[in-house]
Every structure is written in C-alpha cells, then in structure tokens.
C-alpha cells in the first residue's frame, strides 16, 4: 500500500475498532481530539507565554474534565453522600473504553507542545491517528507524543521484514500470555476471591493472591505485547511497558519495571512539575505519596485503588528513608523475594473492591490458619503457575536476560526466522484453541 | 548507495497467511455450524441497523455469532478439550470434573457427598415441617405425599473421587433430611441408603464412569423399589417392572455416557466398564395402572420417564422437571410449564405426589414446590397474589428458554456473573418485565 494512504487506513480501522466497543463514545473521542488539535495549534501561534498558558489550561480542563466526569464523578458523589449525609443522586454515566489511556496521551501532546519539546502536528487526521491508534488505544502502552511524533508522518525506516516478523512473534507471545496463562490463572483467582470470608484459610488466601499476581502481569503485559507487536507490523515502535517487574529488588525498582509508560508519565507530567527530587525531604515524601495516590486513583474510581497506591507510595518513602539500604545490604536473592511478597500483598488490595474482604484475605495470608476450604486446586492452574513463575523470574541472571533480548529483538539469523515463524504460528493457534474452548462450557442438563 | 531494505520476506508472508487463514476459511465456509454437544447456539445472523449499532446490541450479537460460527470453532474446541483431558485430567463441561480411573462427576455432587454444601439444620427443619403440613392436608383428601432421597454419583462412587476433595465428613444434607423426615413422621424413601447397602453386593455397576446419574441398571432397581414403596404407602396394587434377561456390554447406552458426549473430545477414551441393561417390561394390567403419581424431580427422574413409567405404572401422572417443565408436554410441539397450570387442581388430580431429588440438589429440594403448596393451602390469598405476579416473569422466562438468541444471552450472563443459568434467565426475564433496570 502506498505510504500516503497508510495513516488513513489505520485511522479508519481505529475508528471502526473503537466504535465497535463504544459506538456512542467515538463522537466524544473524535470531538475532543479535534478540539485539542485546534487548541494546541492556536496555543502554538500565541506570542506570549501567558496567552499560551491560557490555551494549555483550557485543554487540560477539557481533557481532565471529561475524565473526571466519566470516571470519577459517581465516586465523588458517593463519598460526598457518605461523609455529609446528603442524597445527591448518581449520574447515569457509562465509562468510555480506554479513556484513562487516551486522556493521558492527549495531555502529553498539549504539554509537550507547550514545553516546546516537539512541534504540533499539522494535520488533524494525523493527530487523531496518534490518539486513536487501535493497538494501544484501550490498554496502552501510554505513548508519549514526543516518542511517536516523528513516526506518525514518517516511519519508512521501520518497514522492514525483520521488524514485521518481530512484531508477529511479539503479538503471538502477548496473545499466548493473555489466553493461555492469564486466563487460566484468573479462573483460579476468581474461584478463591468469590469464596465467603470464613471459607478462606491461609493456603486459599495465598493461592488466590499468587494466582492474581501472575494473572495481572501476564494479562497486562500480554496486552502490551500484542499492542507493541501490532504496532511493529504497522511500522510503529511503541515503548516497552514491562521489563520483568517481579525480579525487582525494591519497590522503587518495581516501578521502573511495571507499567513503565504510566510511571514515565507520572514522572514527567506530575512528579517533576511538583519539584521532583529537588525539594526538601519532607516535600519529597509528600510528593511521592501524592503521585502514588493519584496513580492508584488512575487505575479505578474506588478506595481499594487509592489504598493500593498509598501502600506503594509508603514503601517508596520507606525505601528512601532506610529500606532501600537494607535491601541493598541483603542482596538480590533476599531482596527480590521480599519485594515480591510486598507486591503480592498489594495486589490483594488492588483485586478486591471490598476493602474489608481484602484486609481479611491479607490477614489470612499471614495468620497461618489452615482448615478445609471448599476451594480446590486444578491441575491446569498448577502447571500455569509454574510456567508463569519460570517466565517471570527467567531474566534474573544476565545470561537468561540475553536470551529474552534475542527473542524480543529484531535481528534474526536465517534459521531463527523459521523458528520465529513456526513458534509464532503454534502460539497463535494454541491461543485460538484456548479462546474457543474457554467460552465453551456446555451444560449437560439445563436446570429448568 | 545503501542496499534497499527488504520490506517483506517469505516468513512475513507466511505469518500473515497463518494469521488470516481462519478468517479466509470462515468467509468461504458454507456449513459453519459447529457440531458440539451442549452448545447453545444462535443461528440467526444479526441484521445490521444503525439504531442497533449505536446501542451496541448489533456488535454484541455479531460478536456472539462470530464466536460460534467461525470455521475452526469445533476443531479448536475439541483440540483444546482433548489437550486438557490428556494433560491435566480436566474436562470442559459445566461444573464437571474427572476423578480417579476416569470417573466423571458433577463437582456439586462431590461437595454434597463430603458435606461441603451443608445447609443450616433449621432451614431443613422448616422445609420439612411445611412438607409435614402438606402431607397431613393431602392425606385428608386421599392423596399421599412421598419424599424420595436419591443418591448422587459423588456419594455413590466416593472411592474414585480425587484426593483433593476427600476429607472427614462431619454431616451431610442427606443425613439432615433423613433424620428430620423420620422425626417428623414424613413419608420418605431413602434410596441413598438403599444404594449404599446394595453397592457391595450388586453384580453390576450402579453408577457408570462417564454418566452423571445412576446407571440404567441402577434406575431399574430404583423404579422397582419406588413402585413397591408406593404400593405399601397408598395401599394399592401397581404394575411392576420386571426383566428376564440382562445385556452386559462395555459400551454405555442411553444416558450412561452423557458426560462423555458433552466432553466434546477428538477421540473418546475407552469406557472400560461392563454395564448392565435389563430388558425391562411393565406389567400390562390396566386395572393396576390406576394410581396417578405426580413426580417433581431433578434430572435423575428423566431415565425412568424414558422407560415409560408415567404411562405404564403411574396412570399417566406427569413429571414436573425441576418444578418447571411439564413432561410430557400437554400440547404437542410446545413446552408446558408448571406456572401455566392451576396448581391446586393439578395436585388434587393425583393420588400420590412424589418429590425425588438427588443429594446434590437437596439445598434446593423441590424448587419451591413445598413452599408454594404450603402457602396455597395455608394462606391462599397471599399465594395467589404472588402467583399472578410471578406469571409475568415466567412468561418472559419461557420466551428466553425457547428463543436461542435470548437463551444464548442468558448463558453468557450466567458465565459472566458466575450464577446458575436459571438465575440469569430470571434476571433477564425481570428486566424484560420492567421489574429490573
């Protein structure tokens, strides 16, 4: 296909993709991107910094206002009612898919242009292609405008057979991570977390927590891999979103490896504007906690996410105070398991909106109370948990990290190309068989 | 000048063909209905309209349609099922698991056998006290009430249950029902205990490996015992079941491999079990076939119904499956449901009312039959008000059960919300009736 038509095709496909899941919201996203484009272009034409700032603020209000309205309005109303005893009625609002992701991308566009990091796009369709680009639209990675700006108009250097083949493999790996590993682990996590609190003993609590720990990683990183892979096939190079987070030796390191693009966004657009590291210690700790509270809230309008953010923020502060030095002294092989335990415990908060239930599960994890629970372990879970553990900790040594780099790289020997093709096709069809069978669970007799 | 970079290679082309192959096969495939047992399928291709597009209902229906009709659906499901069965000893049948030596079980029946679904005793007592009131009221009208407790496969084949389920049994619902039935003097027949006694001396298996219910042989014994028990209870003479020959074969017939069929494998495992099939007949004496018996039961009673017990021994008494579907239907080609009938006259048109539930279904014993009949006789006004209100929901629920597209939606909902299918249907019916937003 001629290069000049590629963006048009991608944009049409993205509009179709988004309107398939959110047919009404396509107008919201098209409308806001159009307005943003106009605002940013007008901002760019302003001569004084002051008038530029006015347009920046309007754009921020527009994007954050929509995010607040769709995602957080009812959460705030609910809490105002609870605190003040008022009876403000809830709004009938449906959350547009991917709003948290594309709002953050829109913000990078306006802020990067305002800061002079990059010039604005000349064509509104190019801007909409950037925001609506379907592989990353609903679940990230959050692609900063600065990182992709040049690729939108010119990515011919990425149109190589190697990049496409690499994209194919990464897409298939992501699909397999999601369908084979994450879905299997997710079923076990669901089986535990739907139990009544009194039915959860220490073993069940740990199994549920571990199942969810690996489920969320393989689910989310699987989606990211699929996005990155599809992006490569289309000539885009999206930033990595996960870098083996469970081998982290501290929570600080964990956040450099987990949801990297969100972390980078928070750092560039929130933490640094708040002063970054160049403030007094007390302000630094306050900023860390605030950034993580905000990060928690970004994940969902519920107190469990806020608490999860605060929990991570607290460990970041503790690491600045003393824990980081303790981890360093202990060495990687002790610090990694401790960090992993902290992360697992945090995921229980993240998974359960009912805070009382989440706290109960955490209590059970550390109470060493064993009794017969109705919950049973399935063989597929045990196998996938072992596979997930091996993959998650595979890169703990330099040698194994090199192997991973080769798999995710773009340079293959002639024989490796055939291996990539065969592995990719196998993973793709095995994943298809999992997807087909998972939603097929026949009833022997209808109980009616 | 630098060499021109290759934008495509044979590997890329093959990879794209591999990715697109299922789509191409689907577009060129004319017979795209997967032949899978137990699949609720909607064969109607959704028709596009802008209004459906903007509500999202077109996309939902089309996604569902595509999921069921893509070219390799059947092959992929069978492949994955086979892999799961071989690699993990797991089967993809709703709530079913495989035990030792390939014995298939409904997980709920294992829980029942080990008392993991134990009901609070006061709930059992309250239900049985109502049953006792009904028994006394009906007795005055010359009708006998009989509660039958059937054994489930979990209890019947405990030794083949996987170790992870096995633990000390403190109490079971079956014990609670039987002990309280005895204490309250309720007419009951404990087939569970009868099968337990029979098991060590039975020449043939009472439960098949790949069947959900008692074996055909077990069914014959159960029918024989029930008829004799009703004769004693109602002081009547009924046509008895008898057999002179028994076919002993190693391939399951009738419902003795119902789970195996639903496993949807590429190649079925050897059944490796001798099963007995008595050549049965009912005594052909119209003077004896006069005691009309109404049976309210779970699927354990479907086998005896297929044998012809209703016509040949129960004087054409009906079977109310889960107190919902009337078997046989009163109108050919249409389903009749219990709520469409006048409960009082229906009950009083029989001489014996038998409730038969296997232990896995004891927590829902009678499916509100006992509560409804109790209320109908003790506070008819409130019962009929409730009954009328319920009719509206049931009308929609029936529609859902009969229209594949609607039933498919409810099955998806039951999976999403992890609730039983009948609860999902009720929710959807309430929505359709405008009682739920």
Which pLDDT tens digit goes with each residue over A305-327?
Answer: 999 999 999 999 999 999 999 99
B138 vs A377, which has greater pLDDT? B138
Mean pLDDT of A239-262: 94
Closest residue in A to B260 (Cα) is A444
- H helix count then E strand count, chain B: 18, 11
CA distance A17 to chain B (A): 11
Mean pLDDT of B14-18: 91
Residue B200 backbone dihedrals phi, psi, to 5 degrees? -70, -20
Between chains, do A447 and B36 touch, taking CB under 8 Å as contact?
A: no
Any A CB within 8 A of B77 CB: yes
Closest residue in B to A160 (Cα) is B7
pLDDT at B4: 57
- Exposed, middle or buried: residue A269 (CB in 10 Å: 0-12, 13-18, 19+)? middle
Any A CB within 8 A of B343 CB: no
- Strand positions, DSSP E, B263-380: 275-282, 293-297, 319-321, 325-327, 336-337, 352-358
- H helix count then E strand count, chain A: 21, 0
Closest residue in A to B106 (Cα) is A444
Tens of pLDDT, residue by residue over A344-378, are: 999 999 999 899 999 999 999 999 888 877 778 88
B168 in helix, strand or coil? coil
| Local confidence band at B1 (pLDDT 50, 70, 90 cut-offs) | very low
Choose among B12, B84, B321: nearest Cβ to A161: B12
Tens of pLDDT, residue by residue over A170-205, are: 999 999 999 999 999 998 999 899 889 988 999 999
Between chains, do B7 and A161 touch, taking CB under 8 Å as contact?
A: yes
pLDDT at A440: 62
Between chains, do A190 and B418 touch, taking CB under 8 Å as contact?
A: yes
The number of C-beta contacts closer than 8 angstroms across A and B is 147
pLDDT at B211: 92
Between chains, do A432 and B325 touch, taking CB under 8 Å as contact?
A: no
CA distance B206 to chain A (A): 20
**Chain B residues with CB-CB distance to A442 below 8 A:** 36-39, 92-94, 262, 264
B164 in helix, strand or coil? helix
Active-site pick, A299, A312, A360, A372: A299
> What does the mean pLDDT of chain B come to?
90
Residue B351 predicted with pLDDT over 70: yes
> What does the mean pLDDT of chain A come to?
89
Between chains, do B18 and A380 touch, taking CB under 8 Å as contact?
A: no
**Chain B residues with CB-CB distance to A23 below 8 A:** 53-56, 59
Any A CB within 8 A of B437 CB: no
% pLDDT > 90, chain A: 54
Residue B136 predicted with pLDDT over 50: yes
Contacts 24+ apart (CB under 8 A), A298-303: A298/A100, A298/A262, A299/A100, A299/A350, A301/A71, A301/A72, A301/A74, A301/A75, A302/A75, A302/A353, A303/A355
Tens of pLDDT, residue by residue over B80-105, are: 999 999 999 999 888 899 999 999 99
* Least confident interval from A399-413, A424-438, B208-222: A399-413
Between chains, do B11 and A437 touch, taking CB under 8 Å as contact?
A: no
Closest CA to B154 of B202, B120, B111, B115: B111
Tens of pLDDT, residue by residue over B366-421, are: 999 999 999 999 999 999 988 888 888 889 998 898 888 888 888 888 877 878 78
**Chain A residues with CB-CB distance to B265 below 8 A:** none
Residue A299 a catalytic site member: yes
Between chains, do A379 and B89 touch, taking CB under 8 Å as contact?
A: yes
Mean pLDDT of A20-47: 90
Any A CB within 8 A of B297 CB: no
Any A CB within 8 A of B318 CB: no
pLDDT at B32: 67
Residue A100 predicted with pLDDT over 90: no
pLDDT at A446: 59
Mean pLDDT of A326-347: 94
DSSP H or E segment with residue A180: none
- Cα–Cα distance measured from residue A258 to residue A254, given in angstroms and rounded to the nearest whole number: 6
Q: Mutation test of the interface with chain A: which of B8, B12, B263, choosing the one with the most A Cβ atoms within 10 A?
A: B12
Between chains, do A436 and B299 touch, taking CB under 8 Å as contact?
A: no
% pLDDT > 90, chain B: 62
CB B309 within 8 A of CB B301: no
CA atoms within 13 A on the CB side of A150: 8
């Amino acid at each position: 296909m001629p290069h000049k038509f590629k963006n048009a095709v991608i944009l049409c496909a993205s509009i179709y993709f988004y309107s398939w899941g959110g047919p009404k919201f396509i107008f919201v996203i098209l409308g806001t991107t159009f307005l943003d484009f106009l605002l940013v272009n007008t901002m760019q034409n302003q001569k004084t910094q002051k008038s530029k700032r006015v347009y920046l603020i309007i754009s921020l209000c527009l994007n954050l206002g929509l995010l607040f309205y769709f995602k957080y309005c009812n959460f705030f109303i609910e809490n105002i009612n609870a605190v003040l005893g008022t009876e403000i009625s809830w709004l009938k609002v449906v959350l547009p898919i991917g709003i948290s992701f594309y709002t953050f991308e829109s913000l990078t566009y306006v802020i990067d242009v305002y800061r002079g990091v990059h010039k604005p796009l000349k064509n509104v369709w190019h801007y909409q292609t950037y925001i609506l680009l379907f592989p990353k639209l609903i679940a990230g990675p959050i692609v900063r405008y600065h990182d992709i700006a040049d690729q939108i108009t010119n990515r011919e250097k990425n149109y190589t057979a190697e990049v496409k083949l690499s994209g194919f493999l990464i897409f298939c790996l992501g699909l397999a991570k999601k369908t084979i590993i994450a879905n299997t682990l997710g079923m076990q996590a669901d089986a535990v977390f739907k139990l009544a609190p009194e039915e959860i003993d220490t073993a069940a609590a740990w199994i549920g927590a571990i199942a969810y720990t690996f489920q969320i990683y393989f689910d989310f990183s699987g989606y990211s891999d699929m996005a990155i892979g599809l992006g490569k096939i289309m000539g885009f190079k999206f930033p990595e979103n996960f870098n083996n987070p469970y081998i982290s030796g501290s929570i600080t390191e964990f956040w450099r490896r987990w949801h990297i693009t969100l972390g980078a966004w928070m750092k560039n657009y929130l933490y640094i504007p708040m002063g970054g590291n160049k403030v007094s210690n007390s302000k630094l700790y306050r900023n860390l906690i605030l950034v993580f509270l905000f990060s928690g809230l970004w994940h969902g309008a519920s107190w469990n996410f806020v608490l999860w953010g605060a929990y991570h923020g607290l460990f970041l502060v503790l690491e600045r105070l003393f824990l980081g030095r303790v981890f360093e002294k202990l060495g990687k092989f002790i610090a990694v398991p401790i960090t992993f335990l902290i992360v697992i415990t945090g995921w229980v908060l993240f998974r359960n909106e009912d805070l009382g239930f989440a706290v109960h599960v955490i209590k059970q994890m550390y109470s060493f109370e064993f009794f017969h629970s109705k919950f049973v372990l399935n063989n597929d879970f045990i196998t996938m948990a072992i596979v997930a553990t091996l993959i998650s900790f595979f890169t703990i040594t330099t040698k194994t990290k090199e192997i991973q780099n080769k798999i995710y790289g773009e340079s293959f020997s002639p024989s490796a190309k055939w291996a990539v093709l065969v592995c990719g096709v196998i993973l793709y069809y095995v994943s298809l068989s999992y997807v087909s069978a998972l939603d097929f669970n026949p009833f022997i007799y209808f109980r009616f | 000048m630098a060499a021109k970079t290759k934008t495509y290679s044979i590997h890329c082309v093959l990879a794209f063909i591999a990715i697109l192959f299922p789509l191409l096969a689907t577009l060129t495939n004319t017979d795209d209905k997967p032949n899978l047992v137990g699949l609720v399928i909607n064969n109607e291709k959704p028709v596009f309209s802008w209004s459906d597009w903007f509500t999202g209902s077109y996309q939902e229906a089309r996604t569902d349609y595509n999921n069921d009709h893509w070219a390799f659906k059947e092959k992929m499901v069978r492949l994955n099922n086979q892999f799961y069965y071989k690699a993990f000893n797991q089967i993809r049948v709703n709530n079913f698991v495989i035990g030792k030596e390939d014995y298939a079980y409904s997980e709920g029946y294992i829980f029942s056998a080990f008392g993991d679904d134990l009901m609070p005793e006061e709930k059992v007592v309250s239900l049985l006290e109502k049953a006792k009131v009904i028994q006394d009221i009906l007795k005055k009208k010359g009708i006998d009430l009989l509660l039958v407790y059937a054994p489930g496969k979990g209890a019947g084949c405990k030794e083949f249950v996987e170790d992870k389920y096995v633990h000390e049994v403190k109490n079971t619902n079956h014990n609670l029902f039987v002990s309280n039935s005895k204490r309250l003097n309720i007419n009951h027949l404990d087939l569970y205990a009868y099968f337990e006694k029979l098991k060590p001396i039975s020449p043939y298996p009472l439960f098949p490996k790949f069947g959900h219910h008692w074996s055909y042989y077990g069914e014959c014994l159960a029918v024989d015992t029930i008829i004799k028990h009703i004769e004693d209870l109602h002081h009547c003479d009924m046509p008895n079941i008898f057999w002179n020959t028994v076919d002993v074969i190693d391939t399951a017939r009738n419902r003795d491999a119902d789970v195996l069929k639903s496993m949807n494998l590429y190649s079925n495992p050897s059944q490796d079990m001798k099963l007995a099939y008595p050549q049965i007949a009912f005594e052909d004496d119209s003077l004896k076939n006069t005691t009309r018996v109404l049976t309210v039961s779970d699927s354990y009673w479907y086998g005896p119904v297929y044998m012809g017990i209703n016509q040949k021994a129960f004087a054409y008494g009906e079977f109310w499956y889960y107190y919902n579907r009337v078997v046989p239907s009163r109108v050919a080609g249409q389903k009749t449901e219990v709520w469409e009938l006048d409960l009082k006259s229906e009950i009083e048109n029989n001489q014996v009312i038998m409730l038969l539930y296997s232990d896995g279904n004891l927590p829902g014993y009678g499916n509100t039959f006992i509560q409804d009949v109790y209320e109908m006789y003790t506070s008819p006004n409130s019962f009929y008000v409730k009954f009328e209100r319920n009719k509206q929901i049931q009308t929609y629920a029936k529609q859902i059960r009969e229209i594949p597209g609607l039933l498919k939606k409810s099955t998806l909902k039951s999976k999403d919300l992890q609730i039983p299918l009948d609860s999902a249907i009720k929710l959807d019916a309430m929505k359709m009736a405008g009682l739920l937003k």
